[in-house]
């Protein structure tokens, strides 16, 4: 299990310090929530912020674009230092083309699905993906409760991946905490995004240990 803490719940006034603290605590990934106020009802940060903070961190930058027409911004975010760029299937008319462009630029490519979006939209692109992000809340705000049917969706996606013999990672974002971590891992989740349930419980090294111990019990 990889834990990717969502900076949406961190102290935005101390992002460089937060990144250093995560690294010192033993984290390997960090999750950037990029919101445009159009695809989701909130605005967060853009490529210039990530570019500046890339110099401050060796963490794997897991960048989740919750924006309309993400193909307009692929170059900006890869050039800013994103290691993984995740786009929403619902946000673009040219999903395959945008995936191909992310990979052409040298980053790993992921596709996110909102809670209501069926797995069938991945039918013809799953083989091209490094990761699929299952949204277990409706995107746009932190601190929401996990939507229960998301667990079945994770299990079904895991089955699809195994059936095709792929190594595609499954990420889950929304309402993830130590109480549902074991079940998520049992159902096939590889990467867990946690915001308020992580940053709200310092010290970070101890919180990471809690998630990892629960995951090992799965």
pTM: 0.97
Whether the CA torsion 62, 162, 154, 72 is positive or negative: it is positive
Confidence of residue 172 (pLDDT cuts 50, 70, 90): very high
Confidence of residue 82 (pLDDT cuts 50, 70, 90): very high
CATH of the domain at 164: 3.20.20.70
Specify the pLDDT at position 143. 75
Active site amino acids: 33, 173
For the chain, the 3-state helix, strand and coil shares in percent, each to the nearest 5, are 45, 20, 35
Q: Please compute the mean of the pLDDT values over residues 29-35 and round it to a whole number.
A: 98
Q: pLDDT digits over 99-149, tens only?
A: 999 999 999 999 999 999 999 999 999 999 999 999 999 987 777 899 999
- Annotated binding residues, written as ranges, equal 6, 31, 33, 64, 140-143, 173-175, 195-196
- Annotated binding residues for a divalent metal cation, written as ranges, equal 31, 33, 64, 173
Specify the pLDDT at position 90. 98
Burial tier of 91 (Cβ tally within 10 Å: 0-12, 13-18, 19+):
buried
Q: pLDDT digits over 41-58, tens only?
A: 999 999 999 999 999 999
- When divided into structural domains, the chain yields a total of 1
Q: What string of DSSP letters covers 186-198? A: HTT--EEEESHHH
Contacts for 165 with CB less than 8 Å, ≥ 6 apart: none
- Annotated binding residues for substrate, written as ranges, equal 6, 64, 140-143, 173-175, 195-196
Range of the structural domain that residue 19 is part of? 2-216
């Amino acid at each position: 299990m990889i834990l990717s803490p969502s900076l949406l719940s961190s102290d935005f006034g101390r992002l460089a310090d937060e990144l250093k603290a995560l690294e010192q605590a033993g984290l390997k990934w960090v999750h950037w929530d990029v919101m445009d106020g159009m695809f989701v009802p909130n605005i967060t940060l853009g490529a210039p912020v990530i570019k500046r903070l890339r110099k401050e961190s060796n963490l794997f930058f897991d960048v989740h674009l919750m924006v309309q027409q993400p193909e307009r911004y692929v170059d900006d975010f890869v050039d800013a230092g994103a290691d993984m760029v995740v786009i929403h299937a619902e946000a673009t008319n040219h999903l395959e083309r945008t995936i191909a462009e992310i990979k052409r630029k040298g980053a790993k490519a992921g596709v996110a699905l909102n809670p209501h979006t069926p797995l069938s939209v991945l039918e013809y692109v799953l083989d091209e993906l490094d990761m699929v992000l299952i949204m277990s809340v409706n995107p746009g705000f932190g601190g929401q409760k996990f939507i229960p049917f998301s667990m079945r969706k994770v299990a079904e996606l895991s089955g699809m991946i195994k059936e095709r013999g792929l190594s595609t990672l499954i990420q889950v974002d929304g309402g993830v905490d130590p109480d549902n971590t074991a079940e998520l891992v049992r159902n096939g989740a590889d990467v867990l995004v946690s915001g308020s349930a992580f940053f709200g419980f310092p010290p970070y090294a101890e919180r990471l240990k809690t998630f990892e111990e629960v995951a090992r019990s799965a």
